[in-house]
Structure 1
Amino acid sequence: MKETAPSAATPAKTGSAKEPLYRQVVAALRSEILQGLHPVGQNLPTEGELAERFQLSRHTIREALRELRLNGVVASRRGSGTVVLSSTTAQSYLHETGSLDDLLQYAASRLEIRHTRIADVAAALVPCLNGASPAQWLRLEGVRFEEGNAQPFCWTQVYLHPDHAGVARLIGKRSTPVYELIEETYGVRIGEAEQTIRMCEATDEVAALLGLAKKATVVELLRVYRLTDGKVVEISRNLYASTHFSLTFKLRRAEVGR
């Protein structure tokens, strides 16, 4: 089903039409909660009811509810649905990348694909799929090189949704980021890229590829790319030697009730 921003007839919809659809749903539900239409302690409508009301897919509704959970506004309880916890968002500090193009500072390198196969998404990454099937994704693994350097500085693993796996033939042959290849090839639009950074221990294989000692600590960048309807189409993991990675950003205070 091709989704479009709901018309004026859709109840209580707020937000810019340029925003991802799920964020428009978040804005609408948050506004209704602030107005007391969904009191604290009571349930929100079911996923099916919200999907019908907003004329959007369940994927999009799940993404909206996920963001409300992360903000502490609601909680999902087995057998009880989604319960409203608070009418305000807890004060926090946010770092938001201005655009997807800002991520390219991490991708300015040459990618060499070493392995390609059809595989299930790794168990640790399944929660990123928002309920989508983890089966039969295309998995690519390779290494990245800096210009003029024969020693890889990054190990990369990419999972591509089965519906968009055709771009694999272009990866490594063009410098275009994978998400842009998906957009160009399939005529879709990436609405959001979520990035998580953490430290972890390199496997023996990764340590050897990056010229590190066994059990060396590496920096992991995990990115999840979603279409404007919330559908996950790409997951990428990049492992860097700690000496080859740095990150600087500014924090701004989040507005209460945003």
Structure 2
Amino acid sequence: MTKSSSTEADISLANFLKTTPGTEWTRLEGLRVTQDKSPFCITDIYVPKEINLSLKDVNKPDRPVFKIIEENFGLQAEEINAEIMAGSLGKERAARLNVEAGSSSIIIVRRYRDTQGRLFEVSVSEHPASRFTYSFNMSYRR
């Protein structure tokens, strides 16, 4: 993560995050890269302002932010909802990901709720569609 800012959820952001308009959030933004430093996605993480999460807290390799929040702030994830949707990369994001503006993207949104049902993290990862693969296995049991 490289940037941190505070934001008040207007109606549009509140609907996207699935929270109440007017709530205060910290937004952390970062460019994720492969081992050879090639960019593969941009991630925005939103946490309620009262959690007081900093860039220093989250810049730990191979540690999911929700686990850092659990360990440092005493919350426990009870439910994680994930949505996958199509998008289109704007000029600035496309440049950061080394693709053409307007390129198709895949957006993954994860919402983390604690044992009381409170939303404590929303992560939004946007990948160039040309570099994204989703794979899973299913076992059929009789």
TM norm. shorter chain > 0.5? yes
Which residue number corresponds to residue 175 of structure 1?
Answer: 62
Structure 2 segments unaligned to the other structure (5+ residues)? none
1:118-145 deviations in whole A, cap 9, x for unaligned? 1123644413555545432111111001
Larger proportion of helix = 1
Deviation at 1:165, TM superposition (A): 2.5
Aligned to 1:126: 14
Identity of aligned residues (%): 25
Shift of 1:246: 1.4
* Amino acid of the structure 1 residue aligned with 2:66: Y
Instruction: Tell me the CA shift for residue 179 of structure 1.
Output: 0.2
Q: Distance in 2 between matches of 1:220 and 1:184?
A: 27
- Measure, in 1, the Cα distance between the counterparts of 2:78 and 2:99: 36
CA change 1:145–1:205 in 2 (3 A) is same
* Correspondence 1:209 to 2:96: yes
1:210-249 → structure 2 map (5 Å cutoff): 210-249=97-136
Q: Deviations over 1:135-170 (max 9, x none)?
A: 3211111100111x2221101111111221235421
Greater strand percent: which structure? Answer: 2
> Comparing 169-178 with 236-245, which one deviates more in the overlay?
169-178
Secondary structure of 1:166's match?
coil
Aligned with 2:23 (options 112, 135, 156):
135
Distance (whole Å) between structure 2 residues aligned to residue 130 and residue 236 of structure 1? 12
- Within 1, Cα distance between the matches of 2:48 and 2:79? 16
The number of residue pairs the alignment matches comes to 139
**RCO greater where, 1 or 2, for CA within 8 Å and sep 6 or more?**
2
Q: Does 1:192 align with 2:66?
A: no
User: TM-score scaled by structure 1?
Assistant: 0.49
